[in-house]
A and B are shown apart, each in its own frame.
Chain A
Amino acid sequence: MTVGTDVVGDLSGREYPYGFVTELETDIVPRGINEGVIRSISAKKDEPDWLLDWRLRAYRHWVTMEEPHWQNVVHGPIDYQDISYYAAPKKQVGSSSLDEVDPELRAMFDKLGISVSEQERLSGVAVDAVVDSVSVVTTFQAKLAEAGVVFCSFSEAVRTHPDLIRPYLGSVVPYRDNFFASLNSAVFTDGSFCYVPKGVRCPMELSTYFRINAAGTGQFERTLIVAEEGASVSYLEGCSAPMRDENQLHAAVVELVAMQEAQIKYSTVQNWYPGDAEGKGGIYNFVTKRGRCAGARAKISWTQVETGSAITWKYPSVVLQGDGSIGEFYSVALTANHQQADTGTKMIHIGADTHSTIVSKAISAGYGQNTYRGLVKVLRSAQGARNHTRCDSLLIGPDCGAHTFPYVEVKQPDAQVEHEATTSKVSEEQLFYCRQRGIPEEEATSMIVNGFCREVFKQLPMEFAVEAQRLLNVSLEGAVG
């Protein structure tokens, strides 16, 4: 099989429909990072001393660290003193009711297709909407509270539920974890907090929509989800940013804690601005996501569809501590134009009879470079541990690349670890076959690519699966022809 040179993407026709800027009056701190900036962020959020201390410890640790360069991506130097670490729309912060939301902000979310109205289309989904550094609205809080579920912005949770935040903050991703996690710990602004009490099945899907709007800023959100014994919750996140020539940094931390027999399903559709056809601009998406199956038979499942960002660097992972706990990672990563991705997962088996499944689908088009990097680690204590990993790469055109770095460390002789990997191309023969049946070339390509991703898409909640397919099709526009 040969790759068709006529399917080579110059992808310049690719559209990014969310690239607009909304004129919002914004409260923004001067660029640069130092203890003063951290104190001022903490003061703006009216935080307790223990949290400021934690931030400062993180910062003091961060200044001793070096930016990592082991990842398989290339970027120019990042000037951490040239980023503003806090930007907030001046009007209207932290409401729980639509009536209080600034009409400008509402218009922005309407344009993004995100419903911040409890009456509208996504009425089964509660939304926490984060713009730059702050949450502007969280819907359905009252309804969720009836079930005992806490769902609000992180900042609000620090004020209203410090007892729930304090024991878990940094318990899965310590502030010393890595360079970007440390930076986040020092300067994090908003994100979502979710707590599902014992035995409660969260009555609706929860979601957060992250929007970068202001220029010259980074977004450093932090999300924490705790599911108590027997609880379950499905959480979705989406995101977008304006088109700009500069690169903007997004360094988030997500921590999940699942107690005995709890289940957390975490789905991401990542559509940060990817840069233009020449690779100028775009978001650096350097994110640390990790879940801990703290109790027996807990289950954490990550599903991600990564189509945006100039560079994606993230490894949503699961620490399988409880006996019989389950970790899953389903990923689609698309790199087109000059996008780069180095993504995968870590499954750390500690408890006995822990199982993990990894399914990674990487699609490269144009000059995109796509790396799967994964670690399966089985400790001595994890008798009967099992892992199955499947990594498939699909290439569209001759100028892109796919790379796979699977690491396996097994200390328990009883463990079963399986790894399958394939690399294929959208072949001329497949395209000819579809076209011979009357299916136009662009539609045929998107059908083949969607088929390649099906195993992952079927893990997504319905609304998101449709969105993911649509995004993939938009991202591939102009990739053929």
Chain B
Amino acid sequence: MLQIEDLHARIGDTEILRGVSLAVEAGEVHAVMGPNGAGKSTLARVLAGADGYDVAGRVLFDGDDLLGRTPEDRASAGVFLAFQHPTEIPGVANLYFLRTALNSLRRHRGLDELGPQEFLALAEERMRLVEMDRSFMHRSVNEGFSGGEKKRNEILQMAILEPTLAILDETDSGLDIDALRVVAGGVNALRSPDRAMVVITHHQQLLDHIVPDRVHVMVDGRIVRSGGRELAAELEAHGYVGLDAVSDRQGAATVGVTP
């Protein structure tokens, strides 16, 4: 579904992604781990089409080029980003925002728009997934939300917009254990054979709740190691420190951590 080939991204003279390659198939959950500053969030934002980066390389999504397209086009194609820092939009009710978003996507796909009542019914059903109550929908988008509420709101949006590729950028950061359980429960409920997920985190803890099919380690703008779910536990035990030094010297292909 998603094929990333030798992806580079820079801001000015600073190269942040230095040749990322990654393939994710439908139905799979991939975790991308790595220390702060490794380029994980940049990868997420570049895939979603954020401005401000000089990007080179190739990204195919369902066989079509992704990089030349606007963020709204990518969203319509089925790409969803759960933001690390969801922005506030004062005065715009969550309900209205979400309905506008869903209807924009539906319009783009040639489907009829949902009326307020139909949408409300859908939203209420999906809100149960993340244990949100109705009052949430009448508050302004993310305004005055706690960290946990913001993250739950991201997962709610994912549940309503039903993307084919969901990229979760540090969705666990700032969550206490209860909120983590709720968020992970929502994500797990949305796992499906038609949907791929890329879960970005630097804590192994999230992966106890959202069990990935593949784990990738990103250091200094490259994926330096890939493996099964056991790789996460290994990283938790040994940290990223060794990987960092080795990757610089030897390149990604030959990096190894003693099992």
User: Which residues of A pack against B, CB within 8 Å?
Assistant: 4, 6, 427-430, 432-441, 443, 447-448, 450-455
Q: A435-B75, A438-B161 are in contact. Are A451 and B140 (CB under 8 A)?
A: yes
Say whether B101 contacts A439, CB under 8 Å.
yes
Identify the closest chain B residue to A432 (Cβ).
B50
Best-surrounded residue of A430, A435, A437 (most CB of chain B within 10 A): A437
B134 to chain A, nearest CB (A): 19
Q: What per-residue 1/0 map shows which CB atoms of B80-96 lie under 8 Å from chain A?
A: 11010011011110000
In the complex where A428-B51, A447-B92 touch, is A438 in contact with B86 (Cβ < 8 A)?
no
Residue of A nearest to B79 (CB): A436
Q: Is the CB of A435 within 8 A of B87?
A: no
Q: A433 contacts B89, CB within 8 Å?
A: yes
Q: Does B5 reach chain A (CB closer than 8 Å)?
A: no
Query: Bound state CA distance, A436 and B161, in angstroms?
Result: 11
| Contact A451 B51, beta carbon cutoff 8 Å | no
In the complex, chain B residues whose CB is within 8 Å of the CB of A450: 91-92
Sample of 6 more A-B contacts, CB < 8 Å, known A436-B80, A439-B101: A428-B51, A433-B86, A435-B75, A436-B48, A441-B72, A448-B89
Closest Cβ of chain A to B143, distance in Å, is 9
Is A438 within 8 A of B75, CB to CB?
A: yes
Most chain B Cβ neighbours within 10 Å, of A434, A441, A455 = A434
- How many angstroms from the CA of A439 to the CA of B107 in the assembled complex? 10
When the two chains form their complex, are residues B108 and A438 in contact, meaning their CB atoms are under 8 A apart? yes
In the complex the two chains form, is B161's CB within 8 Å of A430's CB? Answer: no
Nearest 3 A/B pairs, CB to CB: A451-B91, A451-B92, A437-B101
- A436 engages B108 (CB within 8 Å): no
If A433-B86, A438-B161, A452-B91 touch, whether A447 touches B76 (CB-CB below 8 Å) is no
> In the complex, A430 Cα to B51 Cα: how many Å?
12
B49 at the interface (CB under 8 A from A): yes
Residue B157 lies at the interface, judged by CB distance under 8 Å to chain A: yes
Q: Which residues of A contact B36 (CB under 8 A)?
A: none
Minimum Cβ distance to chain A for residue B50 (Å): 6
Could you name 13 residue pairs across A and B whose Cβ atoms are closer than 8 Å?
A6-B51, A430-B87, A433-B83, A435-B70, A437-B101, A437-B161, A439-B72, A439-B100, A441-B72, A447-B97, A450-B91, A450-B92, A452-B91
> For residue B87, which residues in chain A have a CB less than 8 angstroms away from its CB?
427, 429-430, 433
Q: Given the interface contacts A429-B87, A435-B75, does A448 sit within 8 Å of B50 by beta carbon?
A: no
Is there contact, CB below 8 Å, between A455 and B91?
yes
Q: How far is the CA of A295 from the CA of B161 in the complex (A)?
A: 55
Find the B residue at minimum CB distance from A4.
B51
| Most chain A CB neighbours (cut-off 10 Å) among B74, B100, B161 | B100
CB 8 Å contact bits of B193-232 with A (1 = contact, 0 = none): 0000000000000000000000000000000000000000
Known: A432-B51, A433-B83, A436-B49. A448 touches B75 (CB 8 A): no
* Cα–Cα distance between A434 and B76 once the two chains are bound (Å): 12
Give the residue among B49, B51, B98 with the most A Cβ atoms within 10 A.
Answer: B51
Across-interface contacts of B91 in A (CB, < 8 A): 450-455
B186 at interface (Cβ–Cβ under 8 A)? no
Chain B residues whose C-beta falls within 8 Å of the C-beta of A440 in the assembled complex: 72, 104
Number of interchain pairs (Cβ within 8 Å): 79
* Cβ 8 A contact of A437, one of B52, B90, B140, B157: B157
How would residues 46 to 59 of chain B score, 1 for a CB under 8 Å from any chain A CB and 0 otherwise? 00111110000000
**For B48, what are the chain A residues with a Cβ–Cβ distance below 8 Å?**
432, 436
Are B75 and A437 in contact (CB-based, < 8 A)?
yes
B76 touches A438 (CB 8 A): yes
B104 interface neighbour in A6, A430, A433, A439, Cβ under 8 Å: A439
Taking the closest CB of chain B, its distance from the CB of A178, in whole angstroms, is 34
Residue with the greatest number of chain B CB neighbours at <10 A, chosen from A6, A438, A448? A438
Are A443 and B104 in touch, CB under 8 angstroms? yes
Beyond A4-B51, A451-B89, A453-B91, is A436–B140 a contact (Cβ under 8 Å)?
A: no
- Would you call B49 and A452 a contact (CB within 8 A)? no
Q: Which of B153-178 contact A (CB under 8 A)?
A: 157, 161
Cross-chain contact A451 with B104 (CB below 8 angstroms) = no
Among A4, A6, A430, A432, chain B packs the most CB atoms within 10 A around the CB of: A432
Q: How far is A430 from B91 in the complex, measured between Cα atoms in Å?
A: 13
CB-defined contacts of A453 to chain B, threshold 8 Å: 91
Q: Does B71 contact A (CB under 8 A)?
A: yes
A443 neighbours in B (Cβ, 8 Å): 100, 104
Report the separation of the CA atoms of residues A423 and B214 in the bound assembly, to the nearest whole angstrom: 46
Residues of A within 8 A of B104 (CB): 437-440, 443
Assembly CA distance A433 to B91 (angstroms): 15
Please tell me if B105 contacts chain A, counting CB pairs below 8 Å: yes
B14-51 interface (Cβ within 8 A of A): 48-51
User: What are the residues of chain A within 8 A of B50 when measuring CB–CB?
Assistant: 432
Residue contact A451 to B90, C-beta cutoff 8 Å: yes
CA–CA, A6 and B49, complex, Å: 14
Q: From B143, which residue of chain A is reached at the shortest CB distance?
A: A451
CB-CB under 8 A from A433, the residues of chain B are: 83, 86-87, 89
Q: Which residue of A lies closest to B96 (CB)?
A: A447
User: Closest chain B residue to A422 by CB distance?
Assistant: B90
| Chain A positions within 8 Å of B97 at CB level | 434, 437, 447
A443 to chain B: closest CB distance in Å? 7
A440 to chain B, nearest CB (A): 5
Query: Would you give the 0/1 interface string for B127-161, flagging 1 where the beta carbon is closer than 8 Å to chain A?
Result: 00000000000001000000000000000010001
Q: What residues on B are CB-neighbors of A435 within 8 Å?
A: 49, 70-72, 75
Chain B residues whose CB sits within 8 angstroms of the CB of A441 once the complex forms: 70, 72
Chain B, residue nearest A6 (CB):
B51
Please report the C-alpha to C-alpha distance between residue A183 and residue B135 in the assembled complex, in whole angstroms: 53
* Interface hub of A4, A430, A450 (most chain B Cβ within 10 A): A430
- In the complex, which residue of chain B has the Cβ closest to the Cβ of A361? B91
Q: Distance (Å) between the CB of B197 and the closest chain A CB?
A: 16
Scoring B49, B52, B90, B102 by chain A CB atoms within 10 A of each residue's CB, the highest score goes to: B90
A450 vs B49: C-alpha distance when bound (angstroms): 25
Partner of A436, one of B52, B75, B89: B75
